[in-house]
Structure 1
Amino acid sequence: MDLTVGQKATRSLTLTAEHVQKYAEMTGDYNPLHFDEAFAAGTKFGKLVVQGGLTTGVLNALVA
């Protein structure tokens, strides 16, 4: 995609449970915050969250 100064571009991706599972398989990150709804409900997030490395990977893809 060719852009010039002043132009804007958008991109979106909805991360799914499948993304979280595949990332865990590759990295070994099976923290209950990502998989255990009851555990995650008791955290400051209140629900499941994706791994930080997964969101960082998405950010890297946006600027690559």
Structure 2
Amino acid sequence: MSRVVRDLSFTQADFDAFARLSGDDNPIHVDPDFSARTRFGKTVAHGTLLCSVLRGLIEELAPGARQLRQSTMYPAPSPAGMPLRFEAETISQTPEKMTISLKVTRLDDGETTCVGETEIAR
């Protein structure tokens, strides 16, 4: 099976830019003062921002493929400035379809922040 991995971290400026583009300006993503008073203690990534990076990895595994479905869960936050590992791995495939597991992990403590699966048409 094929696997692709990408390590990166997001800055507050990245969260702010994504909020402007997406229209999702929830204070948990863009207001450090507000976020400091939450259980997270700092701003955290938009789930769709994480999925955007994962979609890029899917494209590496299957260039030009059409995404049929995706499901993701976010068991832990991805704070600004935290190094993250993004992974996409083929778990099954036929000539018509491919199923890919998706995962984002914080590199400092190994905590999974996003986990899911997608199915694509080839």
- Does the TM-score normalized on the shorter chain lie above 0.5? yes
User: Which protein is richer in strand relative to its size?
Assistant: 2
The SS at the match of 2:5 is coil
Is 1:23–2:34 an aligned residue pair?
no
Whether the 8 Å contact between 2:19 and 2:25 is mirrored in structure 1 is yes
Q: Which residue of 2 aligns with 1:33?
A: 28
User: In 1, distance between residues paired with 2:27 and 2:51?
Assistant: 19
Root mean square deviation of aligned Cα: 1.9
Q: Give the distance between the partners of 1:9 and 1:28, measured in 2 at CA.
A: 30
- Percent identity (aligned): 37
Task: Output one character per residue of 1:6-30: Cα deviation in whole Å (capped at 9) or x when no partner.
Answer: x764321221222212211111111
Which residue number in structure 2 is paired with residue 51 of structure 1? 46
Higher relative contact order (CA 8 A, sep 6+): 2
Query: What is the CA distance between 1:49 and its match in structure 2?
Result: 0.5
Query: How many residues align structurally?
Result: 59
More helix, by proportion:
1
2:19, 2:30 within 8 Å by CA — same for their partners in 1? no
Q: Distance in 2 between matches of 1:63 and 1:9?
A: 8
Shift of 1:36: 1.6
C-alpha distance in 1 between matches for 2:29 and 2:3:
33
Unmatched segments (≥5 aa) in structure 1: none
Runs of 4 or more, structure 1, over 2 Å off, are: 7-10
